[in-house]
Structure 1
């Protein structure tokens, strides 16, 4: 590798995970590729290199976002770990649930869900100091994806516990508790799939159950894998997005006041939030054949980690990348929702939930500030907050 020796940078320590951007910068300035010491992934941090994600002739998606490579070829893949042409065919039957028209049709229902969660805060807490993650950022998106899947959301605490197990085992050794939580989640989805097969509805889970690729229904294992993926990804990424945004509201001087005075700034603010604090920081791919990047040889079946968070801080693309800038003219180039074939299917849904969430904040409160301790998500795959106390007036 060109440049200085960076072998001591472990991207998965608690210290680096808490604020990975200085490490990304150091790696990026050293060259185009870095082999991290924890799992031996080859890390790409340059925006242009990350765009090579779209090349399915070079990379396959079997490991999804897991840097430890625990997913094997023998596991049943969800859509996130399936490559073209099967990926495109699976995405086609799911697109009708995530098309612009379909997502727009959910706007009133989503608004109602978020308003109900904010109303519950007002009823429970006259002091207006509360954990926004516990009260809104997690449960509201969870309720949304449950309605879309055709589930009730009366097990929201289980959903959060299961999703936490998925997140916390990324880049860490999976515990027995986490393993049991994932087994519970799979059993729940299997049961719901059986219910939808007997009594189909107009919902996403029914679409998954009856989906066909090349004239054949998905296997029951694929149905369960995709149900688990959409239940978890459908609210985990959005919860991180919302919690990152509210933290920025509380810590970036003048941001909330600017949005209050000019709502046209809201959409660029949300996009800049996604760029600056990408909810998904890193995703992994497996190399299909021997290749080289500069003077580094990467062998077949080695893993490459595409650092979306680092690419979104690339100064060759985003001027003064550490700054929160509402006037960037290239925010459409951020990589927060991935790139290429696997660009996030739920990006429109997340953006709509972000707008609704932010507008409620702006409508209800004159001032928002941090009110105590906070806890970030563990690891360096997802970036968001497990808890975040704020005070509103």
Structure 2
């Protein structure tokens, strides 16, 4: 059945995906729940409702984030499609690679990786106009996660193609080329897992291979699925975060200068970017038991879409939610990294990469402007840029 407040807003059109926020507002203003017409998902846009994500008694993750529900845990059994108690046990085992101490130990290496990419960009573009996503926002986080996994990053072009296929399949039709890319990616991870099994290293892929739940190692399918997940999610989300931040500092008058002169404002600026332009906009869950929201009955096996991007602009929580405000006292309430059991394991790493990236930009340049030419990520699950031209001086 449709919610009494439903309309014909299709959240998956190219126009709405380009800028979904007016659609989010219309849906949020119409009531607590809305059934979108394309896939029939029930959409939650209110911040408080989205926090029900933590209730694994009502919602499960078997189909992951995909609004079309095509990729089940039986096919892709990664940590993102696993629920407690198994999810909690896997996450606890892998936490050691993302603990505060572990992430901090990577700071010097991450800084070096970003500096190398900025240096390469400077050599290639003496005119100071370039695609910042192509040169830094995408490849630098990719190099970071490859190092963490224990992979060489000499197959950058393959990683980019594979990860693009993984992201572009969400909420959109899958081409044969994309399907083949996913098969290639899984094959690569399988080979790396076999290598780590025979010759363990001090890296994340080794941790995945030897992870145990109740005394048993993960299945080969789980190992491959989690390797694929961390390779792709480990840099796609961060790349989107960095490109979104770049747009903010290049387009909001005076922001770049303020941050350059007062670095204490940098962390609030990064958090406000995460709130306003969440790199993951929407995630989906499957209903395990009947639930009533207002007067709408949501049945078992129905699909729920939790709109993180809408919740982060909920005026009941964030005053003047459309404004970029460095003085907000409740920035830690944003939902950009999810909520509950499935809160992003790599959030601390993404924040560190954001700080390093931003500080290098602020140190190297006196001014940043947007140039002509950009291309957004497709669909409405991820929000960021595939290409973004900027001018620096």
TM-score by length of 2: 0.99
Do the aligned partners of 2:72 and 2:81 also contact (CA within 8 Å) in 1? no
2:317 is matched with 317
CA contact (8 A) 2:5 2:31 kept: no
Return the alpha-carbon distance in structure 2 between the equivalents of residues 356 and 161 of structure 1. 25
Match status 1:265 vs 2:275: no
Counterparts of 1:29 and 1:195 in 2: how far apart (Å)?
53
Give the secondary structure class of the aligned counterpart of 1:319: coil
Q: Does 1:230 align with 2:230?
A: yes
Change (3 A) 1:319 1:2: farther
Q: Give how far 1:6 is off.
A: 4.2
Match of residue 138 from structure 1: 138
Contact 2:62 2:286 in 1 (8 A): yes
Point out where structure 2 has 5 or more consecutive residues left out of the alignment. none
Quote the residue 1:337 is aligned against.
Answer: 337
Is the counterpart of residue 304 in structure 1 residue 304 in structure 2?
A: yes
Give the whole-Å Cα distance in 1 for the aligned partners of 2:71 and 2:42: 17
Match status 1:217 vs 2:214: no
Structure 2: distance between partners of 1:271 and 1:197: 39
1:3, 1:31 within 8 Å by CA — same for their partners in 2?
no
Counterpart in 1 of 2:75? 75
How many Å apart are 1:173 and its aligned residue? 1.1
Tell me, yes or no, if the aligned pair for 2:76 and 2:225 is still in contact at 8 Å. Answer: yes
Partner-residue secondary structure (3-state), 2:221: helix
CA distance in 2, matches of 1:259, 1:3: 45
Backbone CA RMSD of aligned residues:
1.2
CA deviation after TM superposition for structure 1 residue 5, in Å: 5.1
Question: What is the aligned residue count?
Answer: 393
What is the TM-score when the length of structure 1 is the normalising length?
Answer: 0.99
Contact 1:4–1:30 under 8 Å retained in 2: no
Query: What's the CA shift string for 1:28-64, capped at 9, x where partnerless?
Result: 0000000000100000000000000000000001111
* Runs of 4+ with >3 A deviation: 1-6
* Residue equivalent to 1:282: 282
Residue 256 (structure 1) shift: 0.3
SS in 1 for 2:310: helix
C-alpha distance after superposition, 1:151-206 (max 9, x if no partner) = 00001111111111011111011110100000000000001001101110000000
Match for residue 59 of structure 1? 59
C-alpha distance in 2 between matches for 1:344 and 1:2? 31
1:168 aligns with 2:179: no
Q: Equivalent residue of 1:370, what SS? A: strand
